[in-house]
Amino acid sequence: MLSIFSYKQRLLIFLLIGTITASNTLASDHKPQIAFTSLKDGNPEIYVMNADGENQTRLTNHRSSDRHPSWSPDGKRIVFTSNRISIGGEIYVMDSDGKNVIRLTNGEWDANPSWSPDGKKIVFQSMLAERNTEIFVMDADGRNQTRLTDSPGYDAEPSWLPDSQKIAFVSQRGGFRIQIYVMDSSGKNQTRLTHDGGNKREPIWSSDGKSIAFMLNDFASIQIYVMDSDGKNRRKLTDGRHDWSPAWSSDGEMIAYESCRGGDFLSEIHLMTADGKYLKQLSGLHERGDYDPDWFDPATLAVTPVGKSLTFWGRLKRLPSNLR
């Protein structure tokens, strides 16, 4: 019977049948989540919450500072920075429920880990003995740590392109201001994307790889901007006094970020659409600060149904319009 349909129609039918017959479907309470750092208990700890701000749950409980959470692509683990052993910090990984904490690095100033979208690598920054900061990459288990950058300036805050082939980062090389660069995942072809005044920080790719959101400090205010992946067509998204640390949703439609919108200069996690329309405050209804958001959406996971076929939740809505 399927022979009467075109290839595109048969593909769509296959996906629909897989969705209907799946037995290991995600539970209805598997909602998009945001990991973040909070000071609500007086010490920086890693928390998770639903993307609407509900069900805030503490994952770490240590007297040291735990920060910079980054989800693994399958949502089973979170890599983060902690100064449990060294003053500057090292890279750790834990299960998504906070259990099985494992140290991955043994440097003195390792920070800002970011998981590759294929789940095989973790990129991070490390301050070396000569006191300059460089970008490193390692296997997800901490092995094969490899230096990617080698400049006299400050290289930091790496972020993966969704295809795992490129990494955005910031650098102070070639001038006083911090600018955004991009390089191959091997460290080759390092290219500068921004060239004007102000410090640009915390670049992060959109889910389709076409845009990069980042923070710009022009010394009058700190705002979130977005630009095309080649550095062109820059647009300002926020108008607060201090807005930074953007984190894209998996569908590229929303951005979580931290902001000091109140008069107390405490940061909280907020939410806006990808074009800058403000939506709501997600966290921070306490006397401390919240920061470092990172987004995970279970709808992007592959689920194994009955039999040998696979259903890709979230895949169907990303098909071209002529396949829907």
Q: Of 75-84, 96-105, 295-304, where does mean pLDDT reach its minimum?
A: 295-304
The reply to whether 252 falls in a domain is yes
Q: Which domain holds residue 70?
A: 34-323
The reply to whether 23 falls in a domain is no
Take residue 199 and report the two structure tokens written for it. 């410090």
Tens-place pLDDT, residues 51-60? 999 999 999 9
The reply to whether 21 falls in a domain is no
Q: What's the confidence (pLDDT) of residue 175?
A: 78
Tens-place pLDDT, residues 128-139? 876 789 999 999
In which band, very low, low, confident or very high, does the pLDDT at 102 lie, cut at 50, 70 and 90? very high
- Comparing CA positions, the residue from 202, 206, 230, 229 lying closest to residue 216 is 202
> Is pLDDT at 67 greater than 60 in this prediction?
yes
CA distance readout (Å), 203 to 88, 216, 248: 22, 10, 11
Considering its fold, how many domains does the chain have in total? Answer: 1
The reply to whether 16 falls in a domain is no
Q: What's the confidence (pLDDT) of residue 217?
A: 94
> Is pLDDT at 9 greater than 90 in this prediction?
no
With beta carbons less than 8 A apart as the criterion, state whether 157 and 203 touch: yes
The reply to whether 28 falls in a domain is no
The reply to whether 269 falls in a domain is yes
> Is pLDDT at 311 greater than 60 in this prediction?
no
Exposed/middle/buried for 265, CB within 10 Å: 0-12, 13-18, 19+?
exposed
> Is pLDDT at 4 greater than 70 in this prediction?
no
Q: What is the mean pLDDT of residues 131-151?
A: 95
Exposed/middle/buried for 205, CB within 10 Å: 0-12, 13-18, 19+?
buried
The reply to whether 60 falls in a domain is yes
- Comparing CA positions, the residue from 165, 156, 89, 170 lying closest to residue 120 is 165
The reply to whether 7 falls in a domain is no
Cα–chain center distance at 240: 22
Q: What is the CATH classification number for the domain harbouring 167?
A: 2.120.10.30
> Is pLDDT at 7 greater than 60 in this prediction?
no
The overall average pLDDT reported for the chain is 84
Tens-place pLDDT, residues 219-239? 888 999 999 999 999 999 998
Q: What's the confidence (pLDDT) of residue 204?
A: 97
Q: What's the confidence (pLDDT) of residue 127?
A: 93
Tens-place pLDDT, residues 179-210? 999 999 999 999 999 998 899 999 999 999 99
Q: What is the mean pLDDT of residues 24-50?
A: 81
- Comparing CA positions, the residue from 70, 146, 163, 166 lying closest to residue 112 is 70
Higher pLDDT, 33 or 311: 33
